[in-house]
């Protein structure tokens, strides 16, 4: 599995965890978050280190942020190298951190959540295990 798939699963589960769900769905969401927490932490730390290598710093040594989001490059000619390095980070192969959980599909769910959780939750029309 690619690192970014685990990160996306965590982000979807985290967003979904802010809502009330039937027990089986809540349980599955918690399992996904628990299983992908280390991958998210690794990604955040690695991305931060990567940005620190390419970002301009302010007088206090903090990353200078752009108004529209993102950061300001210390040398804009390295933007492509940063994008390539970040893409490689996202594509890093990791061991799949969890077994597949099978649960009854909720009445409503965002398609982006189905996509992000596909490697962790199998939605069915019947209750599974």
Question: Does residue 15 fall inside a structural domain?
Answer: yes
Domain count, the chain: 1
**In terms of residue numbers, what domain contains 12?**
3-124
For residue 36, tell me if it sits in a domain.
Answer: yes
* pTM for the model: 0.87
Q: Is the dihedral of CA 68, 53, 33, 91 positive or negative?
A: positive
If DSSP codes are grouped into helix, strand and coil, which group holds residue 122? Answer: strand
Q: How far is CA 65 from CA 55, 76, 96, in A?
A: 9, 14, 34
129 lies in some domain: no
In a domain, 45, yes or no: yes
Q: Helices 23-54 and 3-16 sit at what angle, rounded to 10 degrees?
A: 130
**14 within domain boundaries:** yes
Given a contact cutoff of 8 angstroms between Cβ atoms, the answer to whether 6 and 91 are in contact is no
pLDDT for 12-62, tens place per residue? 999 999 999 999 999 999 999 999 999 999 999 999 999 999 999 999 999
């Amino acid at each position: 599995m690619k690192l970014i798939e685990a990160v996306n699963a965590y982000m979807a589960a985290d967003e979904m965890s802010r809502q009330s769900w039937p027990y089986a769905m809540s349980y599955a969401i918690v399992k996904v978050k628990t299983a992908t927490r280390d991958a998210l932490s690794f990604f955040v730390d690695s991305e931060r280190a990567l940005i620190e290598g390419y970002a301009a710093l302010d007088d206090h040594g903090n990353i200078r942020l752009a108004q529209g989001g993102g950061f300001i490059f210390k040398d804009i000619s390295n933007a492509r190298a940063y994008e390539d390095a970040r893409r490689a980070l996202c594509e890093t192969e990791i061991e799949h951190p969890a077994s597949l959980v099978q649960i009854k599909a909720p009445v409503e769910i965002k398609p982006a959540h189905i996509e992000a959780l596909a490697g962790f939750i199998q939605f069915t029309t019947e209750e599974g295990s």
